[in-house]
Chains A and B, each alone.
Chain A
């Protein structure tokens, strides 16, 4: 079973261009999460999506950032008009719903990340 896949692994954009980051979740996983890790900082949650729905976008910057997880195809994190401060590693994670005696839980599996550099 292939893990979470992200592409591209490295992306270079000039200021003002658009960046599109793709995430293919593990097979059977219907939950996708995006996290950002700025240089020398910890991971910060951005957005949580299920198929065709944004569930929680409390960590997303209000402008220029958007995310989608269509019925078919990968999840996309889109950054418009990139600025130098957007340079970071962007990680995607996916999970499925496991039902145990303790209830439902969602174990997240992370992809290798996309390193965005804005010049």
Chain B
């Protein structure tokens, strides 16, 4: 799986959009970008994934650059409950079921 680079921490004001960047310059053509988050002491929670098109669901939007070397997770209206460590993971989608490789992630703190 391709290596990812994320800033260690970010702050965001409550109600504003939180934009979390991720670099994955060695991503392969068959690798997807996944985002998970871990709220303190809880199990990780799946947020969203994508290949090359931008994706949106009820939790967030995922913007992937045209060259696929970086992506941004957007939480449109951050709340205090969004404070968590956010993990960007690159992995092959199809084929055998494989484990997730978590890096150190970005600690997002939403400020009141």
Which residues of A approach B to under 8 Å, CB–CB?
4, 31, 33, 35, 42-45, 48, 55-56, 59, 89, 91, 93, 95, 97, 102-113
Count of A-B contacts judged by CB separation below 8 Å: 62
Main SS of the interface on chain B?
loop
Q: Are B46 and A107 in contact (CB under 8 A)?
A: yes
List B contacts of A33 (CB < 8 A).
99-100
Measured between beta carbons, the chain A residues less than 8 angstroms from B105 are 42
Q: Are B93 and A42 in contact (CB under 8 A)?
A: no
Residue of A whose beta carbon sits closest to that of B30: A103
A-binding residues in B (CB < 8 A): 38, 41-46, 49, 51, 87, 93-105
Q: Which of B87, B96, B104 has the most CB of A within 10 A?
A: B96
Q: Are B93 and A102 within 8 A (Cβ)?
A: yes
Measured in the bound complex, the distance between the Cα atoms of B100 and A43 in whole Å is 9
- B101 contacts A45, C-beta separation under 8 Å: yes
Which of chain A's residues have a CB closer than 8 A to the CB of B104? 42
Measured between C-beta atoms, what is the minimum distance from B8 to chain A in Å? Answer: 12
Checking A31, A55, A59, A111 against B43 with a beta-carbon cut-off of 8 angstroms, the contacting residue is: A111
Inter-chain contact B45/A110, CB cutoff 8 Å: yes
